[in-house]
Structure 1
Amino acid sequence: MRGRDGTLALGDQWHSVLSPGRRRRIRTRGRTVAAAALVTLSVASSVTTTSSAEAARPRPAYAYTANAASRNLSVVRLDATAVTGTVPVPNGAEDIALSRRSGRAYVTGGGRSNRVSVVDTARRRVVGTIRAGQRPMGVAVTGDGSRALVANAGSDTVSVIDTRRYKVIRTLHVGDWPRDVAITPDGRRAYVANLKSDSVSVIDIRRGRVVDTVRFERDIAAYAVAISPDGHRAYVSGGNGVDAVTVIDTHTNDVVETVQIPRGAESLVVTPDSSRVYVSGGFLTGDISVIDTDQLVVSHAFHVPHGAEGMAISTDGTRLYVAGGHDRPWMTLVNAETDRVMRSVRVGRSPLNIAPDTPQNPAS
């Protein structure tokens, strides 16, 4: 309250209080002001410290498995290796590609539908669907997140999607039964594995056209394709019992080598330094072969429990993530520096592919 002279009567003692351009006096009882000021400073300091700690705290790393049989995505927190959520995808979940810039995941329907579902990974729900071709299987997203390419096995086409408008802007005819697609690091070209025509179609993404076709001298049943992070090579696995990986020079689109894989060849992933290629043997074997890219030979192989279908690797190359595949509802985490299994987590039914969102190496 105010005293007779109009000053604030807060106690028995008078103190000068400076304000911009003038000085005024207030009186306080004992050490109330000092204590209040100390508490205020302490609280402010605590809030600042807490805010700084929260800002400095790394964002948790997650992986998303596309579970074909259960039509959903399992959200796996990697530092705990635990499923923290499930995203229903009614149109099917065959393959998944993640755009880290937009926080959107693109999920193909496979044999379930001709739709591509768009998932908001922060809200953990489907926010849109896009009609692609028949039996959309492989999907890849450009580095800037502006385009998604979908291999439509049933219609022998690739759909080019404008991700901002959720719209197919081009439909390109490729080989017979295109099963997988991969995009070069510069975002200019895409390589499409055509399972039944034993070929790879090369797409100029900016021009929106097929500019080359790599044809193989032997039947390889092109199952999956991966591009090395340095952009120099494309690796194509031969499925259906072929058990080989064909190496393509992306500068000339010539085949430079075919590497026999003794334990089966399905999905592939290349390490960030482009020095190794991991090749999964499938859900029945759980075997993974490792290709030395300097020598272009299999350097060694190892086994993981619960099957080995789709794979992905962390951005720093220290962790390999393995989806179990058909009838193998597991994701396995592998130390990529030692190729030793760390642990496995149960996910949805028939996880065929996996996409990690790893801003930095998760704690282990």
Structure 2
Amino acid sequence: MFSALRTRAGGGRRRPARTLRPALAAGIGILLISCTHATSVRKDSAVPVAPVLAGAGGRVYVTNQQDNTLSVIDARTYKVVATVPAGVGPEGVAAAKDGKHVYIANSGSARVSVLDTRNNKIVTTVTVGRSPTGVGLSPDGSALYVTNGGSNTVSLIDTRTNKVASTIPVGKSPVDVAFSPDGGSAYVANSGSGNLSVINTRTRRVDRNLPAGLSPVGVAITPDGRSAYVADETAAHVLAVGTRTGEVSTVSVGEGPFDVAIGPDGRFAYSADLGPGNVSVISTDSHRVSATVALGPPGTDPFNLEVTDEAIYVTNQGAGTLKVIDPDSNKVVATVTLGASPYGVAVS
């Protein structure tokens, strides 16, 4: 069985805590031009590391749930440049497109913390519902949707004022949220009711519900808006759900898929599979696994994903690391050692 310190079911469902395993890659690894070996980067390392991926830049933000911190990582060198106190039980994280702010769900205090990226300081907190887990920014950046697993609601925060503009009832134990490309719909994965609530962002109401397996904990929408990919935690599969028809295709992956993300061009979906410690690469054309990326032995616990043109970022809760995968070769090219129980990841 897979093990995890915290499931994404926002209703407070927890597995027993255990001692964290040592980081899988300690010290500095050797970077090969062929990108066939991983580079390990420690927070206390003074050894310079060459860029792994051409064109990569910006910052990567990772919440460390048990440390109550946020790690700020240089996306070019994979060095941790700051470790910031980030509220109680930080989980989901989202970065504004302009790079000025980062939003962090504090599951332990029913708040969202807002980070100013210029000085890496929390500048305000916003009270939301119980056990907030997932955060998602609307495509235009004007609204932050927050899933409140303990309240069965979504809080809509106006990012201009940092105030809750609306509270929307959804299904049981909402965990994750993703938007249609035009921003007209928000899809909420309800782990307790086995469906997706589809919120009309204009009326701020649930228009309809879509089937989503037994325990949907992660959701991502394809760039054409036609499919929602859903990680079903209690099953060994990812679902491709037609957003218009509700038709479901099942993709077999490893035990305990915990998050799903779509590549920018829409050709591939990526699933973080807790049980085997893998990332499954799914062709969105065929709905089949085209590659599997091993991140470590069982207990590595790949948790959450963020995908850009240059890299696939995966938090590994059991190993206390962030893995960086080259999307062209599907090879791990870097390992960054972080705090206790890395959870969410966002890139600016």
Q: TM-score range by the shorter chain?
A: 0.7 to 0.9
The aligned counterpart of 2:127 is 131
**C-alpha distance in 2 between matches for 1:337 and 1:228:** 19
Amino acid at match of 2:219: V
Residue 253 of structure 1 and its aligned partner are, at CA, apart by 4.5
| Structure with a larger share of its residues in helix | 1
Whether the 8 Å CA contact 1:130–1:166 is kept in 2: the answer is: yes
Change (3 A) 1:177 1:169: same
Whether the 8 Å CA contact 1:285–1:308 is kept in 2: the answer is: no
Residue 300 of structure 1 and its aligned partner are, at CA, apart by 2.2
Query: Gapped runs of 5+ residues in structure 1?
Result: 1-57, 358-364
Deviations 1:290-332 (A, max 9, x none): 1111111112212013441111112x2x31111112x421111
Determine whether 1:246 maps to 2:239.
yes
Runs (4+) of structure 1 moved beyond 4 Å? none
Amino acid at match of 2:201: I
**Identity over aligned pairs, percent:** 34
The aligned counterpart of 2:249 is 257
The aligned counterpart of 1:116 is 112
Whether the 8 Å CA contact 1:101–1:144 is kept in 2: the answer is: no
The aligned counterpart of 1:62 is 59
Residue 263 of structure 1 and its aligned partner are, at CA, apart by 4.4
Amino acid at match of 1:99: A
Report SS of the residue matched to 1:266: strand
The aligned counterpart of 1:160 is 156
Whether the 8 Å CA contact 1:201–1:212 is kept in 2: the answer is: yes
The aligned counterpart of 1:335 is 326
Report SS of the residue matched to 1:298: strand
**C-alpha distance in 2 between matches for 1:296 and 1:222:** 18
**C-alpha distance in 1 between matches for 2:271 and 2:91:** 19
Deviations 1:171-229 (A, max 9, x none): 1111111111111121111000000111110001121111111135xx52111111112
Which of the residues 164, 188, 193 maps onto 1:192?
A: 188
Determine whether 1:100 maps to 2:97.
yes
Report SS of the residue matched to 2:183: coil
Which of the residues 310, 313, 320 maps onto 1:321?
A: 313
Residue 84 of structure 1 and its aligned partner are, at CA, apart by 0.6
**C-alpha distance in 2 between matches for 1:169 and 1:156:** 17
**C-alpha distance in 2 between matches for 1:79 and 1:285:** 29
**C-alpha distance in 1 between matches for 2:68 and 2:125:** 14
Residue 259 of structure 1 and its aligned partner are, at CA, apart by 1.5
Residue 170 of structure 1 and its aligned partner are, at CA, apart by 0.9
**C-alpha distance in 1 between matches for 2:232 and 2:261:** 14
RMSD of equivalent CA atoms: 1.6
Amino acid at match of 1:334: I
Higher relative contact order (CA 8 A, sep 6+): 2
Kindly report which structure 2 residues correspond to 1:39-50, keeping only aligned pairs within 5 A, or say none: none
Whether the 8 Å CA contact 2:63–2:343 is kept in 1: the answer is: yes
Residue 260 of structure 1 and its aligned partner are, at CA, apart by 1.9
Kindly report which structure 2 residues correspond to 1:164-179, keeping only aligned pairs within 5 A, or say none: 164-179=160-175
Query: Gapped runs of 5+ residues in structure 2?
Result: 1-54
The aligned counterpart of 2:291 is 300
Residue 68 of structure 1 and its aligned partner are, at CA, apart by 0.5
Change (3 A) 1:98 1:253: farther
Which of the residues 278, 289, 303 maps onto 1:309?
A: 303
Report SS of the residue matched to 1:254: coil
The aligned counterpart of 2:270 is 278
Change (3 A) 1:253 1:127: farther
**C-alpha distance in 1 between matches for 2:67 and 2:245:** 39
Change (3 A) 1:85 1:165: same
**C-alpha distance in 2 between matches for 1:154 and 1:253:** 30
The aligned counterpart of 2:208 is 212
**TM-score normalised by structure 2 residue count:** 0.80
Residue 343 of structure 1 and its aligned partner are, at CA, apart by 1.5
The aligned counterpart of 2:7 is none
The aligned counterpart of 2:225 is 231
**C-alpha distance in 2 between matches for 1:87 and 1:285:** 31
**C-alpha distance in 2 between matches for 1:255 and 1:115:** 36
**TM-score normalised by structure 1 residue count:** 0.77
Which of the residues 337, 344, 347 maps onto 2:338?
A: 347
